[in-house]
Amino acid sequence: MRILLLDTNHPLIEEQLSDKGFVFDADYTSGYDEILEKIHNYEGIIIRSRIPLDKNFLTKASHLKFIARVGAGMENIDVETAHELGIKLINSPEGNRDSVAEHVVGMLLILMNRLFIASNEVKNGIWKREENRGDELLGKTFGIIGYGNMGRATAKRLSGFGVEVIFYDILPNLSDKFAMQVTLEELQKRADILSLHIPLTEETNYLIDEEFISKMEKNFYFVNTARGKNVKTKALVEAIQSGKILGACLDVLEYEKSSFENIETENQDLKYLLGSEKVIITPHIAGWTQQSKIKLAQIIVDKILENFGN
């Protein structure tokens, strides 16, 4: 099978699959139109997020048997058209679930204990103790929306912190020893902390908006390591300003490029987030560790061989 690599990934993908007889071409720079002209030559694509694989693209890919997305989200792929055309879709959420879970806990500890603020103050000769009192995780109710690979790994990491973990998911009967499934209404009533672990779909676009936030009974901390457009930024900013949201940990932003490479829009809401002590922002790196790079790639290789190996 001839495979086109559209993004750089760990070299083990090419090394291991070449040993099994797969043939590779790499194109990390050409745009959509240039790739479109030659996509009929390939039976497989391995991608992260650089190019949207829309209906037009997939229709032109007349010999395509699979698309392997190194990561979890599939929003840059027209999933419905792929299924109609019999194209196998492969992703690897198992590969970075642990790094996402650790990132969630790390950001929360930094935010709730004012670690970044206090450290910068001391480095600048400012010694404040009373002003830097922290807020403990112990005893709080941690609410998760989306109990797939990322949500479950996050609940597992929290098991030693003395928090009660509850979650909402559209699939039933997912409770385990780490978390209890509840209705969305119960989660909104009980959660002290809200963490998103959902894909970006028509249903989850702007899931967190003014109406959703108004239904949260408690003032709460908010964490988003899912997708930026799951959240209406204007509503988030207004809730932080009013005190409804006590603080926010954001690894993703509504204003990111679709390839996640940078921010493509600047406005007053983003300016507020970047300047607020109540907000921690990282550049879409929750799933981006040394270990996850290897695990994501290995899972992709294993799944390709499981489906298309000789």
Catalytic residue (choose from 50, 103, 197, 227) = 227
Residue 164: helix, strand or coil by DSSP? strand
Identified catalytic residue from 190, 256, 277, 306: 256
Q: What is the DSSP string of 26-92?
A: E-SS--HHHHHHHGGG-SEEEESSSS-B-HHHHHH-TT--EEEESSS--TTB-HHHHHHTT-EEEE-
Contact present, 242 and 267 (Cβ < 8 Å): no
284 classed as catalytic: yes
- Taking the CB of residue 214, how many other CB atoms lie within 10 A of it? 11
Q: How far is Cα 204 from Cα 195, in angstroms, rounded to an integer?
A: 14
Residues β-bridged to residue 279: 248
Type of residue found at 153: A
Left (φ > 0), alpha (ψ -120 to 50) or beta: where does 214 sit?
Answer: alpha
HSE value, Cβ hemisphere, 13 Å, CA-based, for 135: 13
Helix, coil or strand: residue 197: coil
Residue 227 annotated as catalytic: yes
Which residue, among 279, 294, 296, has the nearest Cα to 237 in the 3D structure?
279
Integer Cα distance of 58 and 79 in angstroms: 10
Catalytic residue list: 227, 256, 284
